[in-house]
Chain A
Amino acid sequence: MSINPPWFSRNAIAMSAVAVLSVGVLAACSSGSGSSSSSSSSTSTSTSPSSSSSASSIPAGPITIGASLSLTGDFEADGVAFQKGYELWAKDVNASGGILGHQVKLTILNDNSDQNQVVTNYQTLINSDHVDLTFGPFSSLLTGPASEVAARNGYAFVEGAGGAPSVFDTPSNQADHNVFDVSLPVADELMPFVNYIASLPASERPQTAAYPMAQDPFADPPVQLAQAKLQAMGIKTVYSNIFPAEPSSYTPAADQVAGKAPDLVVLGSTDVPTVQAFMKAFQQQHYLPKLFIAAAGPDQGTAFTSAVGPKNATGMMVPNGWYPGYANAASQKMVNEYVKQYGGTASGVNADVAEAYSVGQIMEQAIVNTGGIDNTKIIAYLHSGVTLNSVQGPVKFDALGENGAAAAFIFQWQDNGTNFVQVLPQGTSGSVPILAKKTAWSTS
């Protein structure tokens, strides 16, 4: 059945092989076009008494802040949500008179979810654009290498989505202590779930558990810690494997898990498609875990429920430090503004938005309290032990920049996928009773 033309030459094969090997490079290069795109946010001034000061050391003109975000590529959905969070914060700040009387101007470059491009982008922002301050990118995978660029140039690196231990363990952060993650450290984020299992009578605990994990610094540490703790309780591990972030299909790995039929699945996921693929494969295999918790994905609001179907979402759990119904005045204000500006419903607001917004809030407080944009002073201030406020709750950094004040919660989709609610820790303010059993799969 060959239709090879006679002039099909060895050059063609060589060309094709080069094409295969260079496609990844080409894909990365898409950020070349993307990286030139930037968005600025600057609105008219109206002085805010609380944030204006005539004694600031800030040069005339706006405070320029640079960030690299994954506006295309694997983290596109999260990157775009982060962009909205940063821009919403900048809009709010500028509408209230800026910081110390200065407007904020954001420059956001696209890194195409690529580790090399994110480094290039921060070099551009710092050395070419000479931004005053930097905000972090999305994901631990990109925050690690990006923070090293910031450290070399003496910049404070405030970020909201780089909570993996590997981010804080970089040599640059060990030496310069310039990374500050305003969100919940990921390693411990499943502990409320582990504690919940421990609180159950032995007869009600799951007997077996599976731990499929995507190869990612964000996804693996909390799942591995949970596995160690649950194994110590006597819960038998029937599957524990790390799979590549981009396999041809998730089905083989998911089918392996389904074949073991564990009571509990703890999925080390980074996005909605991974969770969706496992859920779909489980349904195809007529397998329903009693409990199903994923490291990320179910926290993506309507992006998750529309992808998997609201009924299937019911009972799915995810750890996080924030949800749209969070009883915090600043959070509620942000959610309302978000819905007003971008549409949708409050329960559909992505947690990434709050993480990004919090980054801006923490930087704003650091600028106000240090009276300027000196990165050395900002780093010292953020390490001073002070407790700051954000839409995600209190923020207090330890020596390596992890937010020690962040509380870990487990959230769950309930009421046929219409309500995303806090369920753990039980008895904590805001927690509602947990659905102790995943509801059956639905084809509608």
Chain B
Amino acid sequence: MAREIMQAVVDGILIGGVYALMAVGLTLIFGVLDIINIAQGVLVILGAYLSYSLSVHLHIDLFVGLLITVPAMFVIGVVIHWAFIRRLRGTERTSMTLLVTYAVALIIEGILTKIYGVSPTSLNASYTVNSVKIFGFYVTYIYIYGFILAVALVLALYALLYRTTFGRSVRATMQDETAARLVGIDVNRVAALTFGIGVAVTAVGGMVYGATNGGFNPNSGYDLISRLLAIIILGGMGSIGGALVASVFMITLESVVTVWYPVWAVAVFYGALVLVLVIRPTGFFGRKAVRAQ
């Protein structure tokens, strides 16, 4: 039994890394723009399909393909912001973005269905099935690479926000949009670039998800989005590191429960969210100031 639990913990940590890759873009966009991007799940699938096209049609390695898909997704993100998000203003903005991004999700899903059809597919390479034995457990290379990518991505986003001029503009915009405008920051440009970055990092999540999951089709994004939202709430909305910690925590918990009662695994996942929020309403890394407001 101890071995089974250890296997479940290993699985949970590694799969948690995959979910972190999908969730960081979501929490970045919320933290900066106050937008709950319901389209995030479908954007993950879009990222997976872009990698699929490069891999199958142009025979480009999945990781090398990120050099193309990440910039492509950045452009898509900027376009989505320009076309749908930037016009939303006023007190209802946050709630309106729920509907608008849901509409974006439907549009993208429709386009993907038209292009790729409804049959499930997956991303394949030698490292998606080959594994290495570590402490008696087979660990697939793609999971190892995915987890390293997740940590690297969190560190890179942190460096971008706290070690660059652009990051200072982003944080200034977050703190007081009006004051940021007064000191000469192009707030609209910052918002568009941030949304683009949030979507761009999703390309990485999409590729790793497509390579580790059993299969995906244009509709798979809806299964993801509720989990991703749960993860960023638990991690503390807007907290990039929190997304990584919460992903690993939630998926490991679900994985361990699978050892005994698989049928309860999903219920425990969401039950843990409720329990943690009761004890700590701001999530793992939310600010105390939130409670004072």
Chain A interfacial positions (CB closer than 8 Å to B): 1-10, 12-13, 15-17, 19-20, 23-24, 26-27, 30, 33, 72-74, 76-77, 80, 215, 241-244, 246-253, 255-256, 259, 271-278, 280, 283-286, 300, 302-303, 306-307, 309, 441, 443
Contact = CB atoms under 8 A, between A and B. Distances in A.
B214 A13 contact: no
A76 B38 contact: no
Nearest to B19: A248
Secondary structure dominating the interface of A = helix
Secondary structure dominating the interface of B = helix
Given A242-B263, A243-B258, A256-B4, A284 B11 contact: no
6 contacts: A1-B158, A2-B242, A12-B94, A249-B212, A252-B7, A252-B15
Among A8, A250, A306, A441, max chain B CB count under 10 A is at: A8
Q: How large is the interface on B (under 10, 10 to 19, 20 to 34, 35 or more residues)?
A: 35 or more
Contacts of A242: 262-263
Given A20-B230, A247-B258, A285-B138, A5 B31 contact: yes
A277 B209 CA distance: 12
A72 B42 CA distance: 14
Contacts of A256: 4, 7-8, 258-259
B196 to A, nearest CB: 16
A394 B46 CA distance: 45
Contacts of A17: 233, 277
B118 A251 contact: no
B12 A441 contact: no
Contacts of B213: 249, 273, 277
B174 interface: yes
Contact of B286 (A4, A280, A285, A286): A4
A153 B123 CA distance: 47
Contacts of B171: 3
B237 A280 contact: no
Among B4, B170, B171, B273, max chain A CB count under 10 A is at: B4
B120 A8 contact: no
A76 B215 contact: no
Given A76-B217, A273-B216, A286 B265 contact: no
Given A16-B36, A248-B15, A248-B19, A8 B118 contact: no
A73 B113 CA distance: 12
B50 to A, nearest CB: 19
A23 B236 contact: no
Nearest to A113: B219
Contact of A15 (B28, B94, B281, B289): B94
Contacts of B43: none
Nearest to A302: B119
Contacts of A248: 15, 19, 227, 250-251, 254-255, 265-266, 269
Among B4, B222, B285, B289, max chain A CB count under 10 A is at: B222
Given A5-B174, A8-B290, A284-B140, A272 B236 contact: no
B258 A252 contact: yes
B130 A443 contact: yes
Contacts, number: 227
Contacts of B154: 1
B238 interface: yes
A443 B4 CA distance: 27
Contact of B241 (A1, A10, A27, A247): A1
A241 B262 contact: yes
Contacts of B251: 248-249
Contacts of B120: 77, 271-273, 276, 303, 307
B227 A2 contact: no
Contacts of A302: 119
A354 B239 CA distance: 51
A278 to B, nearest CB: 7
B166 interface: no
A280 to B, nearest CB: 6
Contacts of B286: 2, 4
Contact of A2 (B3, B130, B287): B287
B240 to A, nearest CB: 5
Contacts of A275: 214
A303 B214 CA distance: 13
Contacts of A273: 120, 213-216
Nearest to A350: B119
Interface string B98-135: 10001000100100000000111110101011110000
A74 B19 contact: no
B229 interface: yes
B69 interface: no
A278 B255 CA distance: 15
Nearest to B255: A252
Interface in B191-212: 212
B283 to A, nearest CB: 8
B225 interface: yes
A17 B95 CA distance: 12
A441 B129 contact: yes
Contacts of A74: 219, 223
B44 interface: no
Contacts of B130: 284, 443
Given A20-B226, A26-B102, A277-B214, A4 B266 contact: no
A250 to B, nearest CB: 6
A244 B265 contact: yes
Contacts of A251: 11, 15, 212
Contacts of B293: 9-10
Contacts of A309: 124
A72 B95 CA distance: 25
A3 B239 CA distance: 6
A24 B213 CA distance: 21
B41 to A, nearest CB: 9
Contacts of B232: 16
B98 to A, nearest CB: 6
Contacts of B11: 249, 251-252, 255
